[in-house]
Amino acid sequence: MLRYLTAGESHGKCLIGILEGMPSGLKVDKGTINLELKRRQAGFGRGPRMAIESDTVAILSGLRKGITMGSPIALSIENKDASIDTLPVVTRPRPGHADLAGVIKYDRDDIRDILERASARETAMRVTIGAICKALLDEFGIRIGSHVVEIGGAADQKTMIKKAGKCAKIGETLGGICEITAAAVPIGLGSHVHYDRRLDTRIAGAMMSIQAIKGVEIGLGFAAARLTGSKVHDEIIFDRKNGFSRKTNNAGGLEGGITNGEPVVVRIAMKPIATLGKPLASVDIRTKQKIRAQVERHDVCAVHAASVVAEGVLAFEIASAMTEKFGGDSMKEMKRNFDGYIKQVKVF
């Protein structure tokens, strides 16, 4: 069973991650992790912080000579801007952010205590953890990728860039839709027997945990609600060489909470960034007077970054399901279990 924790604030000293349950004997390349972190910082519409930070990971434990030992993996990413103790007090909550709900819940009089952890800066560590999970999945031929479907309603890159540039000039922000795919996922991950063992449940919840994500679809998603059953469900075919497969993949690779052997396809909807250059109306939490919301350093559009984060999130959930299904304290044991299962599936 895989699990992880992250810690750290946006302007704190560093981000910390602990990944537990990774089998021993997995080669982890630090350079590959750093490339994933670089991908997260790319894309048009990103804010000025991307010019300050150049994220690289420090692997503090769990590896020896680049190979996992079976012990927890501790990770760190240094924040170049570690000014949390000197930053000014924030009392003007931003609509769409965790600011107001957070200060009320935790009984704070400075929104800084909330926004520092609620910030999407935390996702850098999730990309790091996801990169290690991708290394595990690579050993079984599973590949994960993503692309941006649309930004601000535009589906072609030229219009996306134009819209982002216009929004930057007028103090606006943009959201969009990403699609994430996991290919060569074996049939049988997840389970139908309990709500929390359904893999689609876990994937959807994990995607919603990414900052600013407000919707998740698997396969056809909401479009299926507007069609008849014969137009939605994927017809089953069989041949001796490939076994069971489908003519289409409207289910997005999941049926009854279980992978069905087709690619897992997930789409996420990201709302526009909550910090606006021309802020919306708000109320000061101390004076209770009407005022404009706080303006923090922010992105105009982070949809490309969200797609990279979502890859990491999906990688973790599938890697977790793989370790549950095939067990093993070492990669040799896990591969032996996997190979035996694949032989069983082929002769079913």
Which pLDDT does position 241 carry in this prediction?
Answer: 82
Q: Residue 77 sits in a domain of what CATH number?
A: 3.60.150.10
Q: Which domain holds residue 281?
A: 3-346
From CA 262, how far away is CA 325, in angstroms rounded? Answer: 17
270 phi and psi, to 5 degrees? -105, 130
Amino acid code (one letter) for 152: G
Listed residue (211, 182, 232) closest to 121, CA to CA: 211
Which pLDDT does position 297 carry in this prediction?
Answer: 78
Which pLDDT does position 10 carry in this prediction?
Answer: 95
From CA 218, how far away is CA 312, in angstroms rounded? Answer: 17
Which pLDDT does position 72 carry in this prediction?
Answer: 98
From CA 115, how far away is CA 308, in angstroms rounded? Answer: 22
Kind plus residue range of the DSSP H or E element containing 5 = strand 3-7
Q: How far apart are the first and last CA of the chain?
A: 27
User: How many domains are there within the chain?
Assistant: 1
One digit per residue, the tens of pLDDT, for the chain of length 348 reads: 899 999 999 999 999 999 999 999 999 999 999 999 999 998 877 665 555 668 999 999 999 999 999 999 999 999 999 999 999 999 999 999 999 999 999 999 999 999 999 999 999 999 999 999 999 999 999 999 999 999 999 999 999 999 999 999 999 999 999 999 999 999 999 999 999 999 999 999 999 999 999 999 999 999 999 999 999 999 999 988 888 999 999 999 999 999 999 999 999 999 999 999 999 999 999 999 999 999 987 899 999 999 999 999 999 999 999 999 999 899 999 999 999 999 999 888
Listed residue (348, 329, 321, 325) closest to 264, CA to CA: 321
Measured CA to CA in angstroms, residue 259 lies from 10, 186, 214, 225, 241 at distances of 36, 7, 24, 21, 20
Which pLDDT does position 50 carry in this prediction?
Answer: 54
Distance of alpha carbon 242 from the chain centroid: 32
Asked whether 115 and 10 are in contact (CB, 8 A), the reply is yes
